[in-house]
């Protein structure tokens, strides 16, 4: 695909994703790696990412999605790697997923009777997040009901609540609760996502589920700076660009954008980018909260972000910006300007954005 001249786009490197997966797999070995590709592979593109990872030769690799629709999409695209659906499933989807050799999360003790012979499940236990998962006291009965129905138990697992903030005490208590649940022979125990997989070897168990680190982002600054993260190299696989489609010279006192929030304090040069909140750029990041990059220079967003456009003050950018020049947005900068985290910005990148893989 050629680079668009009038639309924003994402440049994504499958080779970088594969390198990150291999680095994480090496870090957690002999535990296996589940690469989490839910939410359109954190905005990177479900099918291209799924294909690249499944063909990378990573030992014991599984792919984790959240919805049955994501699993169906991967199978329809020819991705044959082991898959886990980590979210709830409709009754109508369970048999079809089992027929496609997709493993299923059993996320509530009340659901044990919904699975039939031929299905493969990972029994989830809530150990402290208060989200999905059955109870510790109900786990034994859930497992027994599944086994009596001919359902294969492939895993018994949980999810950590505060690993990225280096809360070792609470993490240890959650791990202890999971290990208190008897897992059938051959079932994988897993609890660690990216932060714990990097930080605490004891949490790696039989498998880890890595999402954000797979795409080159640290779960938190605390994790990045931790001694236990030393030697791990992960790189960003995605870059976000938008072309300048118009340049406006405006006199002092000119207002820009909805609400007239930006008022030029001097003769100014304004660039218009065809990028707005419909394209994943949070509206709250406008009015100077976010700056975009032109080479080694930065330019603040001028006024409110619109649905399909934003304006930036390029008065001080050198060399001068012209129509057709390219602005780059940094995901962490966008997250900080919006008062959120990189996870959210990535997950909200719409499928309508052009994605170029190279």
Q: Which helix (H) or strand (E) holds 347?
A: helix 342-347
Say if residues 264 and 251 touch (Cβ distance below 8 Å).
Answer: yes
Residue 258 is a catalytic residue: yes
CA distance 261 to 304: 7
Give the CA diameter of the chain.
78
- With a CB cutoff of 8 Å and minimum separation 6, the contacts of 99 are 118
Question: Contact at 8 Å (CB) between 70 and 246?
Answer: no
Other beta carbons within 10 angstroms of residue 252's beta carbon come to: 10
Confirm whether 38 is a catalytic residue. Answer: yes
Distance in angstroms (rounded) separating the CA atoms of residues 94 and 184: 22
Among candidate residues 51, 73, 217, 258, the one labeled active-site is 258
Q: Annotated catalytic residue: which of 38, 42, 51, 124?
A: 38
Q: Where are the extended beta strands (E) located within 66-201?
A: 83-85, 102-106, 120-124, 152-157, 188-190
Alpha-carbon distance of 347 to 358, in angstroms, equals 21
Distance of alpha carbon 14 from the chain centroid: 15
DSSP 311-346: EEE-TT-SSPP-TT-EEEE-HHHHHHHHTS-HHHHH
Give one word for 149, left, alpha or beta, with left for phi > 0 and alpha for psi -120 to 50.
Answer: alpha
Q: Which residues are designated catalytic?
A: 38, 258
């Amino acid at each position: 695909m050629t680079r668009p001249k009038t639309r924003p786009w994402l440049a994504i490197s499958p080779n970088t994703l594969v390198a990150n997966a291999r680095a994480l797999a090496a870090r957690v070995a002999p535990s296996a790696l589940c690469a989490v590709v839910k939410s359109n592979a954190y905005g990177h593109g479900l099918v291209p990412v799924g294909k690249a990872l499944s063909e990378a030769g990573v030992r014991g690799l599984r792919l984790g999605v959240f919805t049955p629709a994501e699993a169906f999409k991967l199978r329809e695209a020819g991705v044959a790697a082991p898959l886990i659906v980590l979210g709830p499933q409709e009754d109508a989807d369970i048999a079809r997923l089992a027929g496609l050799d997709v493993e299923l999360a059993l996320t509530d003790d009340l659901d044990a009777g919904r699975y039939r012979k031929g299905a493969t499940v990972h029994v989830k236990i809530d150990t402290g997040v208060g989200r999905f998962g059955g109870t510790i006291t109900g786990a034994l009965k859930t497992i027994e009901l599944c086994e009596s129905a001919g359902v294969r138990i492939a895993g018994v697992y949980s999810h950590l609540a505060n690993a990225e903030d280096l809360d070792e005490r609470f993490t240890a208590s959650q791990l202890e609760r999971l290990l208190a649940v008897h897992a059938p022979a051959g079932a994988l125990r897993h609890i660690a996502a990216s932060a714990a997989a990097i930080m605490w070897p004891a949490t790696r168990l039989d498998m880890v589920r890595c999402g954000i680190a797979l795409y080159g982002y640290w779960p938190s600054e605390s994790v990045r700076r931790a001694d236990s993260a030393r030697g791990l190299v992960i790189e960003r696989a995605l870059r976000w660009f938008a072309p300048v489609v118009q340049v406006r010279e405006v006199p002092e006192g000119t207002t820009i954008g909805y609400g007239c929030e930006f008022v030029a304090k001097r003769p100014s040069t304004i660039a218009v980018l065809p990028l707005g909140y419909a394209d994943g750029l949070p509206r709250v990041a406008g009015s100077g909260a976010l700056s975009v990059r032109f080479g080694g220079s930065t330019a603040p967003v001028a006024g409110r972000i619109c649905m399909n456009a934003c304006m930036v003050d390029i008065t001080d950018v050198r060399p001068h910006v012209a129509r057709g020049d390219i602005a780059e947005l940094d995901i962490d900068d966008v997250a900080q300007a919006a008062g959120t985290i990189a996870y959210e910005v990535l997950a909200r990148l719409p499928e309508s954005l052009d994605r170029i893989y190279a």
